[in-house]
């Protein structure tokens, strides 16, 4: 069975995490949840509110990581999914996650990032010269690291599939699954 890594940490966004977890499983892949350590993580729900200038955050589900970043061998995986939420703000400083991300992108494996997940790709240095999308408040991260930002529901540039927020999950996973299934059937 082909395996796909799903990266999480505390404060990963619940829809950005659970939608791909189940969508990828639908096509018969094993989803391996990865975190800084092999333990249970607390997901959060982000939503807009008319009285707030930024998203409102509420506690969500809990999800256990199957593997710690340091134990990942990128060659064992077919694809990579970087969940959004606030988790990428600190996950991007994990040297092992950077190693895994660079290897997966450079090996041409399908890599998906939504919302703040772009911060991991940006820090890994793999979006220079690429066209990407992300939540508007992360536009700076993309552009300062050399990417061209566009505001649309999903962008596919080579092996990278990026989306803005959980509202775009349908388009994000549709395009990621096309790349993933094509990679497996080559």
Whether 167 shows a pLDDT value over 80: the answer reads yes
Q: Could you read off the pLDDT of 37-88 as tens digits, one per residue?
A: 999 999 998 777 788 777 777 778 999 999 999 999 999 999 999 999 999 9
Rounded distance between C-alpha atoms, residue 44 and residue 59, angstroms: 5
Say if domain 3-184 classifies as CATH 3.40.50.880. Answer: yes
Q: Could you read off the pLDDT of 95-146 as tens digits, one per residue?
A: 999 999 999 999 999 999 999 999 999 999 999 999 999 999 999 999 999 9
> Structural domain boundaries of the chain?
3-184
Rounded distance between C-alpha atoms, residue 69 and residue 7, angstroms: 9
Rounded distance between C-alpha atoms, residue 114 and residue 17, angstroms: 10
- Contact between 172 and 163 under an 8 Å Cβ cutoff? The reply is yes
Q: Could you read off the pLDDT of 32-47 as tens digits, one per residue?
A: 999 999 999 999 987 7
Whether 186 shows a pLDDT value over 70: the answer reads no
Query: Of residues 22, 116, 167, 185, which has the active-site annotation?
Result: 116
Does the pTM of the predicted model rise above 0.75? yes
2 tagged catalytic? no
């Amino acid at each position: 069975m082909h395996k796909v890594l799903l990266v999480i940490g505390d404060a990963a966004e619940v829809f950005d995490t659970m939608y791909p977890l189940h969508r990828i499983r639908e096509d018969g892949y094993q989803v391996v949840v990865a975190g800084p350590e092999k333990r249970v993580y607390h997901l959060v729900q982000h939503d807009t509110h008319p009285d707030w200038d930024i998203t409102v955050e509420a506690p969500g589900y809990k999800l256990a990581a199957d593997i710690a970043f340091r134990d990942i061998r990128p060659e064992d995986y077919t694809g990579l999914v970087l969940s959004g939420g606030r988790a990428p703000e600190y996950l991007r400083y994990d040297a092992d996650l950077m190693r895994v991300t660079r290897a997966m992108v450079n090996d041409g494996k399908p890599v998906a990032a939504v919302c703040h997940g772009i911060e991991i790709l940006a820090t890994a240095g793999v979006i220079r010269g690429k066209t990407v999308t992300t939540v508007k408040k992360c536009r700076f991260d993309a552009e300062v690291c050399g990417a061209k930002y566009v505001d649309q529901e999903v962008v596919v540039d080579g092996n990278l599939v990026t989306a803005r927020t959980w509202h775009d999950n349908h388009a994000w996973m549709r395009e990621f699954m096309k790349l993933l299934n094509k990679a497996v059937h080559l």
